[in-house]
Amino acid sequence: MSEESGGPRPGPEEVPEAEVFQEHREEFLEHAVAETAEVGGPEDYLLLAKDIVAGYVPGVNILNGCTLTLTEGEVVAIIGPNGAGKSTLIKTIFGLIPVRGGGLTLRGSSISGLAAHSLVERGVGYVPQTRNVFPSLTIEENLQMGAFLRPRTFAERFAVVSELFPLLGKRRRAKAGSLSGGERQMVAMGRALMMDPSVLLLDEPTAGLSPIYQEEVFQRVKEVNSTGVSVVMVEQNARRCLQICDRGYVLDQGRNAYTGTGADLLNDPNVIELYLGTLAKG
Ligand SMILES: Nc1ncnc2c1ncn2[C@@H]1O[C@H](COP(=O)(O)OP(=O)(O)OP(=O)(O)O)[C@@H](O)[C@H]1O
């Protein structure tokens, strides 16, 4: 008789949580709200990403036809499990990943295939998740980089941005590399705002930050939004993000799994079970 080694095994009645999650997820995705059919035309939105197919490696799609709309003045959140394609969607919107299918429009005009700097010229700002400041440059120099396409507007924009983020004005000569993670995030957002964008794309702005700084980032996002900037943000702190956003998208496997107002998503039993609750961590 051989004896098998290893830790305790699930009893005959126990099913590992990950399997439960997978089973419910497949079932839920089959019945997921397909928003695409209800989406209006490009002229109805400030930004429209429709039926987007995109990926990194030839022949492998990460986004499998997902759709996102942004109306003037909104904060829109993108949440979902790890690897769902949230960052990929935001990078595709910003022209960092080629669009293989579907289309992107800004104020009704196609932006599919445009490079990132063309999008900046058209009023789109982007804050990447990592390496989003130049650590060896001062805060002021980082902000100058943000205004490189319109250097003559620097002083005026610096005044506006440091009113929103007082730290940036007070510590303008500090090297960005000497700042905490939360402070760097303020520099990164400030830099993206130097070109006076109408759309701000944020990729996981609270990742790696302490709860206090996470909260500060959420508050700043709301303040920036109140100045007339529309925001699309990918977030790992899904609950808090859904509390402050107007609408949210749950992405799963590169598709729209669910769409609704922040409150709808926070109160939906399926979303809670699969994407916000303990099963989601299985
Ligand atoms: N540069 C890359 N080259 C190839 N594959 C990539 C690259 N970046 C991401 N991927 C893959 O694309 C898929 C989606 O990644 P993405 O970063 O968009 O996920 P996400 O939903 O933002 O999740 P997370 O919260 O884990 O960042 C993952 O399978 C990831 O491994």
The string of DSSP letters for 224-239 reads HHHTT-EEEEE-S-HH
Q: For 275, which DSSP code?
A: I
* pLDDT confidence of residue 25: 73
How far is residue 47's CA from residue 22's CA, in Å, rounded to a whole number?
33
The residues, any chain, with a CB within 8 Å of residue 212's CB and separated by 6 or more, are 182
Region of residue 73 (left: phi > 0; alpha: psi -120 to 50; beta: else):
left
| Radius of gyration from C-alpha coordinates of the chain | 21
Does residue 5 carry a pLDDT above 50? Answer: no
Task: Centre a 10 Å sphere on the Cβ of residue 251 and count the other Cβ atoms it contains.
Answer: 25
Report the nearest atom of ligand 1 relative to the CA of 89.
18
The first and second tokens of residue 147, run together, are 């205004």
The residues, any chain, with a CB within 8 Å of residue 193's CB and separated by 6 or more, are 125, 146, 157, 160, 161, 164, 200, 224, 229
Question: How sure is the predictor about 263, in pLDDT bands with cuts at 50, 70 and 90?
Answer: very high
Question: How sure is the predictor about 26, in pLDDT bands with cuts at 50, 70 and 90?
Answer: confident
> If 0-12 CB within 10 Å is exposed, 13-18 middle and 19+ buried, where does residue 282 land?
middle
* pLDDT confidence of residue 269: 87
Pocket test for ligand 1, best of 68, 88, 252 (most atoms within 8 A of CB): 88
Q: What is the ipTM of this complex?
A: 0.97
202 Cα–ligand 1 center, Å: 16
> Which residue's alpha carbon is nearest to atom 25 within ligand 1?
82
pTM of the entire predicted model: 0.89
Q: 4 or 173: which carries more pLDDT confidence?
A: 173
> Which residue's alpha carbon is nearest to atom 19 within ligand 1?
83
Domains of the chain: 17-281 (3.40.50.300)
Report pLDDT digits (tens) over 245-258.
Answer: 999 999 999 999 88
Ligand 1 binding residues, C-beta < 6 A: 56-57, 62, 80, 82-88, 236
Report pLDDT digits (tens) over 62-77.
Answer: 999 999 999 999 999 9
> Which residue's alpha carbon is nearest to atom 3 within ligand 1?
56
How do strand 199-203 and strand 230-234 relate by DSSP bridges? Answer: parallel
Q: 98 or 40: which carries more pLDDT confidence?
A: 98
Please, what's the b/e burial string for 31-55 (b: 16 or more CB within 10 A of its CB; e: otherwise)?
ebeebeeebeebeebbbbbbbbbbb
> Which residue's alpha carbon is nearest to atom 13 within ligand 1?
83
Q: For 149, which DSSP code?
A: T
Residues of the chain with pLDDT > 70, as a percent, come to 88
217: nearest Cα among 203, 229, 205: 205
Q: For residue 255, what is the enclosing H or E element?
A: strand 255-261
CB 131 within 8 A of CB 125: no
Report pLDDT digits (tens) over 163-174.
Answer: 999 999 999 999
Tallying the residues shown for the chain, one arrives at 282
Does residue 4 carry a pLDDT above 70? Answer: no
> Which residue's alpha carbon is nearest to atom 30 within ligand 1?
83
Question: How sure is the predictor about 276, in pLDDT bands with cuts at 50, 70 and 90?
Answer: confident
